[in-house]
Structure 1
Amino acid sequence: MIRKLVAQDIKAVMDIWISTNITAHDFIAEDYWKKNYDIVEKEYLPAADTYVYEEGQQIKGFISIINEVFIGGLFVDENSQGQGIGKALLNYAKEQYNELELCAYADNQKAVDFYKHCGFIITEQQPNEDSGYPEYTMKWKKE
């Protein structure tokens, strides 16, 4: 079931955020993610429309949309990946919004391929403003 984030979900969402980032972005120092934890929890999450994928009262993933167009994050618990949860969350967002944009690290080929498979196209490549690592801007528009 996909539903809107509530306050009680924040710890589970942040646990998924930190562990998945560290694993998926092993080219970035783990300390970078730990330093950004509080900012994400206290600034980004409250500013975004976040939806969680819940199964058996356990949160398995989430998607956060900023300013009704930008996917600030799409994360699925590592033990639940490959089960269609990320695609379900992304499809849910596609139903809610007419266009979506995101940034994905160029070295995270798994994510780039996933978004391409889901209809996103690469429109730009630039260094990430915080980490300096190259990232792609990817966009999707409802037809």
Structure 2
Amino acid sequence: MFKIRMSRPSEAPEIIQIWRNSVDATHDFLTARDRQEIEKEVVSFFSETPVWVATQQDDQPIGFMFLHDGHLEALFVDASARGLGVGKRLISHALALHPHLSVDVNEQNQQAVGFYQHLGFQVSGRSDRDNQGRPYPLLHLSKTNEM
């Protein structure tokens, strides 16, 4: 079973490595240059920002999410832990905190699109570019927790 808790400042390097491992496994559509630019942004942001982490029994982070006002800004699971229910557990926690949850997902990341749709998220819109203006279309998804 996975535990969900807030990250500790000392875990920033582990969180950034989870991001790298996850992106390397799922974001093959990014150009090398964009991947490098995004990584710089991620390192800067997640070095300073607490996130929700999913941990194994040894309390090691294996996935994380960042929530802001009912919007899932980021959800990444270490490539070694994919398919074990980590992402589903993080989403369940997010929905407990925010019963109306939204997320933007890269349209080219079909694994992520399928994951969210499998969990009941529905497309509510689309953008031709990501939030930084790069040519990576986003699908806007939303879900209401029906308890």
Shorter-chain TM-score above 0.5:
yes
- Report the alpha carbon displacement of residue 2 of structure 1 after superposing the two structures with TM: 0.8
The two structures, once aligned, show a CA RMSD in angstroms of 1.7
In the alignment, structure 1 residue 97 sits paired with structure 2 residue 94 = no
Structure 1 runs (4+) greater than 2 angstroms displaced: 36-47
- 1:57 and 1:27 map into 2 onto residues whose CA distance is 32
Q: Percent identity?
A: 25
- 1:129 and 1:142 map into 2 onto residues whose CA distance is 26
- Report the alpha carbon displacement of residue 87 of structure 1 after superposing the two structures with TM: 0.2
- 1:30 and 1:13 map into 2 onto residues whose CA distance is 21
Please, which of 4, 7, 10 is the counterpart of residue 6 of structure 2?
4
Aligned residue pairs total: 141
Helix, strand or coil at the partner of 1:16: helix
- Report the alpha carbon displacement of residue 44 of structure 1 after superposing the two structures with TM: 5.9
Structure 1, unpaired ranges of 5+: none
The match for 1:133 is 136
In the alignment, structure 1 residue 142 sits paired with structure 2 residue 141 = no
For 1:84, give the aligned amino acid.
G
- 1:97 and 1:41 map into 2 onto residues whose CA distance is 26
- 1:105 and 1:35 map into 2 onto residues whose CA distance is 16
8 A contact 1:60–1:76 mirrored in 2: yes
For 1:2, give the aligned amino acid.
I
- 2:7 and 2:131 map into 1 onto residues whose CA distance is 27
In structure 2, relative to structure 1, the CA distance for the partners of 1:7 and 1:97 (3 Å cut) is same
For 1:61, give the aligned amino acid.
G
Please, which of 35, 38, 41 is the counterpart of residue 40 of structure 2?
38
More strand by share: 1
In structure 2, relative to structure 1, the CA distance for the partners of 1:35 and 1:22 (3 Å cut) is same
The match for 1:59 is 61
